[in-house]
Chain A
Amino acid sequence: MEENTAKKKKKKLSERSAAYLLIAPSLLLILVIAIWPVLQSFYFSLFDLRLSDPTKSEVHTSYQIDLKRYLDNYPFLQGSIDKELRNTQGETAQQLNSIKEQLNQLDSSLREDEEIQERYESINEKLINIEPVLDKESLIEIERDRAKEIQETIQSIYQNVKQLEGLEDPDAVKGLTSALTDVVIKPNFIGLDHYVKNFMDKRMWMAIWNTVVFTVVSVAIELVLGLLIALLINKAFFGRGLVRASILIPWAIPTVVAAMMWKFLYDGQNGIVAKLFEEIGLVDSMASLLTTDIGAMFSVIFADVWKTTPYMALLLLAGLQTIPKSLYEAAAIDGANKWKQFFTITLPLLKLSILVALLFRTLDAFRVFDLIFVLTGGGPANSTETISLLAYKVLFAQTNFGEGSALSVVVFICVAIISMLYISLLGRDLLEDKK
């Protein structure tokens, strides 16, 4: 007996470890490719990170000195000062000499540090041989006070250089000195500043507002229309397969392609849908569809409704088909009319399907990007710019990674709030381990 339970236990244990082993690759991938990047986005959002600015292109949590940058400029600056010295006399020469003295002092004070001295030489050698220098060896952490001291020295040299007159090649000297001012890298940690700035910025609120309008209006229309269509085709009729297939097509084609199609149909001069809308009096002129605030938002919502209502209808249809026919028959015998049947049988039994469909649709609508990117580009005058589009623009058009990451974290938080709301409505139904 005892032996038996031990065996069972062992078996259970081996099953459990096998299960973990089977799940491990998926979990690992999800961690690496989804969860880590979201956390990283949050981390980036705390920094002033700009890919276009070499001193801010990476996250720096402490003061650093960029030796490669220093050695890329310092020797040449020395050289050009020497060159100028040969051609000048009088006051300028005196000034040049004192600048040179300052530079020498800076250089030797830098080299006092053993670590810096060591890397100084190896990097210098690499630069002379035109070998690549990695960021890792180039950047050295230094103390804050020391960094400030170095920065002040370089600034004072720069001020002196700016005052020089009568140089042969003033641009070279000034340019090289100016490049030196970037040698000290300050930590670009700014905490929640991006969030604070964006929360005060009208543009972000407008983007959120646009997203909410788009989501609420389009999902509401899609739900009502989808339910109607589902009820309509929940009959056995001839050609049902064909109808179902035609319904699936808008869902299956890439959103970008659908958006392109609608852009053509909405076109202010040649678009047939724009023309039709004008004829039935929906818009005052064909052109106002994509060039006015309301027209553009309407166009975007209309295209989205066209693309996803069928999908909604399909989800609801599947739900409808699980409702037993006998319920309706019984209700009919009891004398309930169609409306009563709809409200007492269909809706309550469809509740879960409706909530699941709404959850997926709301989240999809809230993170909308490609449809609007292609159809309006967020215009006119940002009237259709959604929060995802704004985040994309800040990230990749302005290469402002810190602020863009902050905006994408805002999108993430909104999505998390929405899904929590729905899941609290759905309860554990969605996740229960059903046998």
Chain B
Amino acid sequence: MQKKAGPWFYVGLFVFVFVVMFPFLWVLISSFKPVSELFGDKAFIPYTSDPTFDNYMSVFVNHPFMTYLKNSFIVSGATTIYTVFIAAFAAYAIARLHFRGKTVILGLVLSVSMFPQVATISPIYIILKNLGLTNSYIGLIIPYTTITLPLSIWILVTFFRKIPHDLEEAAKIDGASLMQTYWRVIFPLAIPGIFTTAILVFIAAWNEFLFALVLNTEEAYKTVPVGIAMFQGQFTIPWGEISAATVVVTVPLVIMVLFFQKRIVSGLTSGAVKE
């Protein structure tokens, strides 16, 4: 399998990457097209003779897109920090300490990560409505725990297990308490794993749609996915604005993926692969 890659391999690879990237490239081009070139025969020309930033302007001027971005950042950021913090303790206990019912707890965490969101939404909606927490940040952060907490525990357990036991033993012999061992020894060693988990949790929260759609219906509290989904008017679909908005949302994610791809891959595959 380790034969040297031939030219056909690269041709195949190029075709594959092109197919994967094609929708983005097309949307990117369309976002710079003036409205007149988005319809009719000109719609199929892969370049524009008259590039314009109108679509981008419109996204921020005619839509509260800045607000959507801010909301998504606040909700996803807060969700990430608090879930990873809580999940790290649980994962440490599962990976390092001896206690009864460990398999049961891990099984519970795994099965909760499989729950369909729609099965929890009606009680969550009613409770948050009664508490007056719909259309608020906290009202989204709390339900996002359903998605992000099992995910973080699951990934972090794998990372914690990889940390060598010796250092911990040494700390114990030196008389460090459990919490001291955690904060001084384990935690610093686990920072790369925790960071990886945080990236995945952030992306998961950023992309969430159903809860955001149901719970935050006011413009001032909508997140990016909901905002984009609601861009279309009743009779016309503003493809230019949608393309521009898509680019605005995608570019930061592309940069993030390029920067952290190794971490993301190790996080995604950590639960799925047995070494």
Contacts and interface: CB of A to CB of B under 8 A. Distances in A.
B153 A15 contact: no
Contacts of B271: 356
A89 to B, nearest CB: 52
A314 B93 CA distance: 29
Contacts, number: 289
Contacts of B229: 256, 259-260, 370, 373-374
B118 interface: yes
Interface in B1-51: 1-3, 5, 9-10, 12-13, 16-17, 19-21, 23-24, 26-27, 30, 38-40, 43-44
A269 to B, nearest CB: 7
B228 A256 contact: yes
A248 B265 contact: yes
Chain B interface extent, by class:
35 or more
Interface stretch (B58-66, B84-92, B188-196): B84-92
Interface in A217-266: 229, 232-239, 241, 243-250, 252-265
Contact of A257 (B89, B122, B228): B228
A367 B117 contact: yes
Of A26, A234, A247, A357, which is in contact with the most chain B CB atoms at under 10 Å from its CB? A26
Given A245-B261, A270-B239, A396-B214, A264 B30 contact: yes
Given A15-B99, A41-B120, A248-B265, A353 B43 contact: no
A18 B21 CA distance: 49
A246 B17 contact: yes
A34 B120 contact: yes
Interface string B57-89: 000000000000000000000000000001101
A352 B231 CA distance: 43
A419 interface: yes
A395 B122 contact: yes
Given A26-B87, A433-B102, A322 B274 contact: yes
Contacts of A322: 273-275
20 contacts: A16-B98, A23-B94, A26-B149, A37-B123, A234-B1, A238-B5, A239-B13, A241-B261, A248-B265, A249-B20, A272-B44, A314-B268, A318-B265, A325-B1, A357-B272, A369-B117, A373-B209, A408-B122, A415-B115, A433-B106
